Structure 1
């Protein structure tokens, strides 16, 4: 593998047929199959954002995004898990090297986590944690879990940062120390195993309780780790949505080439309305992809030069990712309607992608409130 991990995209493309062939089983069992997980591990895809000092690729964002696009064309659940766990691995940059080696270079070397919740009480040598966390995509493949917690002192008082905000840390522990709750019965992304997990009075040593997205806590010099995980999630999941949209539109185009609609005088490929719809939808998808990647490239160029991720970068990524996911959902909706009654059958490649896309569009990265946040910033600017 080269120094930037550029061949990750080729590797993802090479195993896409395997993933597509396993997609039905992934859907049925609600988790990635062993053969898919094995292929992802063997080809180093889970290590896309892991530091090179730990044997990872430390790939730039656009390579990570293209990798996810290729996988998402084959199966959205696989791409979602890969994106989630790859971003989780970025926390290695804030860990003691020995601790990071224990987590990421011991089988399976996969870390998963859920949303921010609960507290960790400071005790001698570390912290005590009790709580339950949700939305741990990819947890069935993980060997370690993380939990984002607010820190309280031994007397229960909240610990504050210098600016008065609550001190947040991510605590890491082996999956075997947690109780997993199989709760992911969802309309889409069924194979992600986005389960809940729980611990009771679990002791976390200091070395496994780290600051996340705090530049001063970083032990790795690369610019990648100045990129907050939240923004990386946004870029990655927007890329997943592009892959799903691309595959769904391609399936509709293939159908139109050969289908003769009931009661219609001509084949779909000769229908001017279908031709125009495909042309406009293709333009919409290409525009969304170009906008997302242009934003990522501009952000990365400036971040690499300055070693700083600015509020302007955050807003730009948030706007591009949100708009791309919502635009991808429109592309999928158009392709689904274009396919007519064919689209409702599980034997055709439409209904699962339709459900997966709408599950993606319900996630935090696609919230309409992001447009409000960006609009508020724009209105406050003096231009």
Structure 2
């Protein structure tokens, strides 16, 4: 059954009565997280084991298969940010991100897809009734979004007519619900709007041809005059309509953190390789095992120290701000700036550590099939992301000095 709405010119736009919230719930309803405790821990351990076996498959096909995403759902990865009042089991950010880090130490691209288990924090600014509908059939919703470029949607009675093509919709082939970025206005304080749609209403443009993060399947999403009702749009980073610790934690900072932690995992995977495997390799020229060389020992030690230092800053800051969210204390712009700074630092140090591991591995690491290639190609990507690039340090430093950060909506 369909309903007709009209645009400003009087042209009818047909829309299904089954909205995106209901469609998402039905898509997700077949798989649910195991009960918290031993069963969920076992599901996570199983997912890690399977990933060892299938990571090459995901890389070759260019996306993480939906049946594997189902394993991550069973492990609870896609319910970590769903509020308790809707039946969720929200997790502290550090707890969730350490799981993403473990996944990324096996396959960073799969870790990137898993990191969007935190995405429901965005939904906290939706109307309460919309959130209730989204989670009515399942609290394990997989969300993917192409936010940019932001398009000017056509305003009609009750919502928007959306047309455009959005980039970088990571994990879109396995998503239960998709988002599209719309240009905001004075009413959004310059922040973008996100329009939520049923994946069946848009086209995935299969154009993800990249050197790194191949398995994220970050294709374009195209819409042609798709109607999105007002209640299925929200301001990205807008004021939450519910009040729980998970909705108090800074949403934009969290979005940057879950990507940065993928870099930490990639760096750990690379270091584990050069420590446990690469160090025993002898040179093809007849030299001693690489681990017995002075530059290998000192290079490994420095990389380990750098990674652990960045990781400690990252999680220390996370825990401090989370404690404020739990206690319902004010989370200041300085707190948010430290989160953004720690995330950027983690991403950039991780990239340096991956390159250090590559350097230690020597000539053999240049071959496509070398184990370090996975961590090299994927591990360089997080620091390239707009939320983690060098300018974040300048913006954070300006804010710490009481100056204008120079970036809209920062931190």
Deviations for 1:166-209, whole angstroms, at most 9, x for unmatched residues? Answer: 47432111011112111111110001010111212221122212
Q: Which residue of 1 aligns with 2:171?
A: 138
- Say yes or no: does 1:191 pair with 2:215: yes
**Residue 223 of structure 1 contacts residue 307 of structure 1 at CA under 8 Å; is this kept in 2?**
no
- Say yes or no: does 1:64 pair with 2:96: yes
* Aligned counterpart in structure 2 of residue 366 of structure 1, from 368, 388, 394: 388
- Say yes or no: does 1:214 pair with 2:245: no
Q: Which residue of 2 aligns with 1:154?
A: none
- Say yes or no: does 1:95 pair with 2:119: no
113-122 vs 129-138, greater mean Cα deviation: 113-122
**Residue 108 of structure 2 contacts residue 262 of structure 2 at CA under 8 Å; is this kept in 1?**
yes
The runs of 5 or more residues in structure 1 that have no matched partner are 152-158
**Residue 130 of structure 1 contacts residue 198 of structure 1 at CA under 8 Å; is this kept in 2?**
yes
For the structure 1 residues 108 and 143, does the alpha-carbon distance in structure 2 shift closer, same or farther, using more than 3 Å as the test?
farther
**Residue 59 of structure 2 contacts residue 214 of structure 2 at CA under 8 Å; is this kept in 1?**
yes
Deviations for 1:231-276, whole angstroms, at most 9, x for unmatched residues? Answer: 1121111211111100111001123442111335422222222112
Report the aligned-residue RMSD. Answer: 2.6
125-134 vs 66-75, greater mean Cα deviation: 125-134
The runs of 5 or more residues in structure 2 that have no matched partner are 1-32, 404-411
**Aligned residues between the structures:** 369
- Say yes or no: does 1:282 pair with 2:313: no
1:362 deviation in Å?
Answer: 1.2
Q: Which residue of 2 aligns with 1:344?
A: 366
178-187 vs 299-308, greater mean Cα deviation: 299-308
For the structure 1 residues 357 and 8, does the alpha-carbon distance in structure 2 shift closer, same or farther, using more than 3 Å as the test?
farther
1:22 deviation in Å?
Answer: 0.7
**Residue 9 of structure 1 contacts residue 66 of structure 1 at CA under 8 Å; is this kept in 2?**
no
**Residue 81 of structure 1 contacts residue 137 of structure 1 at CA under 8 Å; is this kept in 2?**
yes
SS of match in other structure, 2:211? coil
For the structure 1 residues 5 and 313, does the alpha-carbon distance in structure 2 shift closer, same or farther, using more than 3 Å as the test?
farther
* Aligned counterpart in structure 1 of residue 250 of structure 2, from 223, 228, 233: 228
- d(CA) in 1 for partners of 2:112, 2:237: 21
- d(CA) in 2 for partners of 1:316, 1:170: 26
For the structure 1 residues 93 and 7, does the alpha-carbon distance in structure 2 shift closer, same or farther, using more than 3 Å as the test?
farther
* Aligned counterpart in structure 1 of residue 341 of structure 2, from 306, 313, 319: 319
1:13 deviation in Å?
Answer: 4.1
Indicate the structure with greater helix content.
Answer: 1
- d(CA) in 2 for partners of 1:307, 1:82: 29
1:322 deviation in Å?
Answer: 0.6
**Residue 279 of structure 2 contacts residue 290 of structure 2 at CA under 8 Å; is this kept in 1?**
yes
The 5 A counterparts of 1:1-383 are 11-84=43-116, 86-96=117-127, 99-100=130-131, 102-104=133-135, 105=137, 109-116=141-148, 117-151=150-184, 159-161=185-187, 165-166=189-190, 168-215=192-239, 217-218=240-241, 220-263=242-285, 265-380=287-402
SS of match in other structure, 1:380? coil
**Residue 104 of structure 2 contacts residue 111 of structure 2 at CA under 8 Å; is this kept in 1?**
yes
371-380 vs 105-114, greater mean Cα deviation: 105-114
SS of match in other structure, 1:235? helix
For the structure 1 residues 375 and 109, does the alpha-carbon distance in structure 2 shift closer, same or farther, using more than 3 Å as the test?
closer
For the structure 1 residues 108 and 174, does the alpha-carbon distance in structure 2 shift closer, same or farther, using more than 3 Å as the test?
farther
SS of match in other structure, 1:90? helix
Q: Which runs of 4+ in 1 moved over 6 A?
A: 1-10
Q: Which residue of 1 aligns with 2:20?
A: none
1:3 deviation in Å?
Answer: 10
**Residue 261 of structure 1 contacts residue 267 of structure 1 at CA under 8 Å; is this kept in 2?**
yes
- d(CA) in 2 for partners of 1:304, 1:375: 27
SS of match in other structure, 2:308? helix
**Residue 319 of structure 1 contacts residue 371 of structure 1 at CA under 8 Å; is this kept in 2?**
yes
